[in-house]
A and B are shown apart, each in its own frame.
Chain A
Amino acid sequence: MKKEVAIIGVGQTAFVRGYEGSIRELAFDAYKEAMLDAGLTAKEIDASIICSAPEYDKQRSPSGTIVEYLGLNPKPTFYIETICSSSSSGLRVAYSLVKSGLHELVLVLGFQKMSEISSADSQERMGRGSDIMWEAPFGTMMPAYYAMHARAHFQRYGTTEEDLALIRVKAATYGMINKKAVYQKGVTLEQVLTSDMIASPLKRFDCCANADGASCLIVANQERAKALSKKPVWIIGLGAATAPINMSGRESLTGLSCAREAAKEAYQMAGVTPQDIDVAEVHDCFTIAEMMAYEDLGFAGPGEGKDLIRGKETYIGGKIPVNVDGGLLSKGHPIGATGGSQIRTIVLQLRGEAGEMQVKAPEIGLIHNIGGVGLYGNVTILGRD
């Protein structure tokens, strides 16, 4: 296992419906937890990467505001954006800064305060994360795009609405034991299947919850990681890829090519295969997204994702536990904070500090974080010391 760059501190706010504070205060909550976790003070951080999707709040170039509030001046900061995968992209940039030798300790902070705008306005903004010239003028939104993927998957592989509902039931099972989840209630199969239709065949419970939240990761080079941390978690594989923004440019709608490309790159860099992964976080912005992730990541063959969930193989104790923190579906999806939150979950799992959500002695964990409708794919593989 390559032990060159590690994550030595993680933090996350509770994901909530309406955070009663400003974005800088939201950022501080996650920052404080990560800094205490790593045992660091602001002056030790060499650079920061701030990640969010724009247009949810009025602040332009939020990095400047946030680093001032966190006491990180005069060190440099960068704003990184790949919509829903912003903070995974942030981690990739942090890795590069550290690996290059330019910096020793880099902070990655993702945040989003979605409650500043209405749900319909939020859908309009997310819709504009697709092509504003050729698709948004038809009235597109994220659930509808993923619904098209669900229909295509149903048609080709015989996956059903009930299979998708099983994924939501699993998410809720773990959301109930995650104190930081926005949705901590249980959900039954019948509740999912009878919930309001949003964009056929996806129903309300097939969709993740908008939330406010922030996440924070502290990335260190080998020397600092060994000196500062008793349980460094090493970044052993990174993959990132893109796909055409237009659905016209997609080969098929039964999976996400950017995820397959990113996974291939990450597995290769880490020198591992899908069978080596002990615990995973995947981007379940919609139930169908988790189904496609099973297949795009190689946890199941094409069309066989449904067998994994039917057999409860993605629960704790199954072949490959997935999203045992509630996922985006129950934990919530504050766009810019999501990747960092997923990474934090895997770091805690590998340290053996995941509490009730702990998977038995995992050594290698994977994070799959997607931006837009399969526009940006990010796969990160972490290994225990």
Chain B
Amino acid sequence: MGFEKFGIVSFTSQTKATPFIDHLERGVLAGTKCKGCGTFYFPPRPDCYHCLSSDVEWREITGKGKLISYSTLIYAPTGFEADLPYTIALVEFDNKVKVFGRLSKEVKDEEIKIGMELKYSVVKLPNDRITYEFKKA
């Protein structure tokens, strides 16, 4: 349990990657680094497919983010209608680590440009839910 707090609507509750939520609660967006071979993963995962180790440490996502692409949704799937319109985005941080998420509504439509610099920000939602979004760096 624990992972059910993640995002606007969650679809799963049990995962060994639940420490992700603990880091988010401290304001940190983290991925996992394999202690066996050093491979870094985002999204985080407790198992390494390179060396088959299941010994990982949690590391913060670092560097300035760069917007790879985005789309603003005018229609939403069931469960997300109240947030419309919202913008989903893929952002690249240090070491080519790409993170998927939403752009903050603070970023105005006319300001959104592929390549723009972004940072992540943890967002606490009602009902003890938690997520992250991207803001202007």
**Interface residue ranges, A against B (CB under 8 Å):** 118, 120-121, 123-124, 126-128, 131-141, 143-145, 147-152, 155, 196-202, 246-250, 253
Contacts and interface: CB of A to CB of B under 8 A. Distances in A.
Interface of B: 3, 6-12, 15, 17, 42-43, 68-81, 83, 86, 88-90, 97-102, 114-115, 131
B75 A133 contact: no
Contacts of A118: 78
Contact of B69 (A128, A132, A152): A152
Contacts of A149: 69
A369 to B, nearest CB: 23
Contact of A151 (B6, B43, B71, B77): B71
A343 B80 CA distance: 36
B98 A248 contact: yes
Given A141-B73, A151-B70, A202-B71, 17 more contacts: A120-B76, A123-B76, A124-B79, A128-B11, A131-B43, A132-B11, A133-B6, A133-B15, A133-B43, A137-B6, A137-B7, A137-B9, A139-B88, A141-B76, A148-B70, A248-B97, A250-B98
B90 A248 contact: yes
Given A198-B75, A248-B90, A139 B42 contact: no
Given A137-B131, A140-B77, A144-B88, A246 B43 contact: yes
B100 A247 contact: yes
B72 A124 contact: no
Contact of A139 (B68, B76, B99): B76
Given A123-B75, A136-B11, A144-B88, A246 B100 contact: yes
B114 A155 contact: yes
What are the 4 A-B residue pairs with the smallest beta carbon separation, nearest first? A137-B7, A139-B80, A147-B71, A124-B77
A33 B77 CA distance: 36
A135 B71 contact: no
Contact of B101 (A131, A133, A138, A198): A138
A132 B83 CA distance: 19
A136 to B, nearest CB: 6
Contacts, number: 122
B78 A123 contact: yes
Q: Which of A139, A143, A200, A202 has the most chain B CB within a 10 Å cutoff?
A: A139
Q: Which of B15, B43, B73, B76 has the most chain A CB within a 10 Å cutoff?
A: B73
A297 to B, nearest CB: 22
A246 B98 CA distance: 10
B77 A127 contact: yes
A155 B43 CA distance: 26
Contact of B73 (A144, A150, A246): A144
24 contacts: A123-B75, A123-B77, A126-B77, A131-B43, A133-B12, A133-B17, A135-B100, A137-B11, A138-B102, A139-B76, A141-B76, A141-B77, A152-B68, A152-B69, A152-B114, A197-B72, A197-B74, A199-B73, A200-B71, A246-B100, A247-B100, A248-B42, A248-B97, A248-B99
A120 B3 contact: no
Contacts of A123: 75-78
Nearest to B78: A124
A255 B17 CA distance: 30
A151 B9 contact: no
A162 B70 CA distance: 19
Contacts of B71: 143-145, 147-148, 150-151, 199-202
A121 B76 CA distance: 10
Contact of A155 (B9, B69, B75): B69
B7 A138 contact: yes
Contacts of B75: 120, 123, 141, 143, 198-199
B78 A121 contact: yes
Contact of B8 (A132, A137, A247): A137
Q: Which of A127, A136, A145, A248 has the most chain B CB within a 10 Å cutoff?
A: A248
A155 B68 CA distance: 10
Contacts of A131: 43
Contacts of A152: 68-69, 114
A150 B71 CA distance: 9
Nearest to B133: A138
A289 to B, nearest CB: 14
Q: Which of A121, A128, A132, A151 has the most chain B CB within a 10 Å cutoff?
A: A151
A123 B9 CA distance: 14
Contacts of B89: 148
A248 B43 contact: yes
B88 A151 contact: no
Contacts of A135: 100
A144 B11 CA distance: 19
A131 B83 CA distance: 20
A132 B69 CA distance: 20
